[in-house]
Amino acid sequence: MSGANLLAAHLDHRRSYDDFYYVYPVISRRSQGVSIGINLNPDKVCNFDCIYCEVNRTEPGRRRDVDLTILREELRDMLHIFAEGTLFNREPFASAPPEWRRLNDIAFSGDGEPTTCPVFEQAVEVAFDVRREFNLPETKLVLISDAACFDRPGVQNGIRRMQAGAHEIWAKLDAGTENYYQTVNRTRIPYARILKNIADTAKWCPLIVQSLFLRVFGAPPTDDEIRAYAGRLLEIQHQGGKILGLQLYTVARPTPLDWATALSDRELDHLAEIVRDLTGLPQQLSYGNGS
């Protein structure tokens, strides 16, 4: 297999598959396996407007609601497609090497913030039930979230349900200061609320912090910004929050804004070194070239 084909396999993260509304497969470059996504925001509504987001919100979504019966049927169908191996008869999945043709997780991640969905808790229950039905106890349920709704009872109930089996909670934190947070994430939600929600949740549910850094108008984050980010991580831990590790990455595909571009490998390594020296937290790095 050529390097170009392999690169295509794990850079293609389209959130669609045939006529499915909610469920879609991707080859995950981080886990080097198949991730089955659950999109709870088919309407493309999100509480953040991140400068690196690839979702085209000028085009309407395929539907506005989340029908749990259809979601259950789609997840079952996708797991059958994976188990039968027919998923790998078409691109980009046909380009995946044999060792990547494993099911790594079922992830709540789509065209918006999954925890804003009114039936998030019930959707978690659907995923939990279908995983059990297919006898996949080691397949993780993953929540990829901006943490803005972690203080909602229904969201907390959903997270606690995930904790009853294999799971990971990924909380987004892309900045160390309010100004940089607003530059990158562009939201009405106060930065302080994000920090509090991550800290409070991490006290009872250890989580992974996922952070995307990039160049803004050609400039990478300053060392002061990086140190401030590391300081936020230390504050979360000092408050009793448990951080399992960091996912530090940059953009791997062109963004809708030509002034939001990837860090170089050297810039990401420099950032990671500062954070490692200050926090000691384990890291997983993903570079702009897809490695």
* Strand 260-261 versus strand 215-216 pairing type: antiparallel
- The domain spans of the chain are 3-172, 205-291
Closest CA to 48 of 149, 159, 197: 149
Tokens 């259809």 locate to: 70
Residues of the chain with pLDDT under 50: 1-14
Please give the pLDDT value at position 257: 96
Please give the pLDDT value at position 75: 98
User: Mapping DSSP to helix (H, G, I), strand (E, B) and coil, where does residue 94 land?
Assistant: helix
**Residue 2 structure tokens:** 């050529």
DSSP classification of residue 263:
P
Beta bridge partners of 284: 247
Kindly give the residue spans of alpha helices, DSSP state H, lying in 88-175: 120-133, 153-162
169-206 pLDDT per residue, tens: 999 999 999 999 999 999 999 999 999 999 999 999 99
Kindly give the residue spans of alpha helices, DSSP state H, lying in the chain: 3-11, 68-84, 120-133, 153-162, 178-185, 191-204, 223-238, 265-279
Q: What CA–CA distance (Å, rounded) separates 117 from 66? A: 8
Please give the pLDDT value at position 237: 98
Residue 59 Cα distances to 56, 157, 185, angstroms: 6, 33, 21
2-42 pLDDT per residue, tens: 444 434 444 444 455 778 999 999 988 777 899 999 999 99
Please give the pLDDT value at position 57: 85
User: Mapping DSSP to helix (H, G, I), strand (E, B) and coil, where does residue 99 land?
Assistant: helix
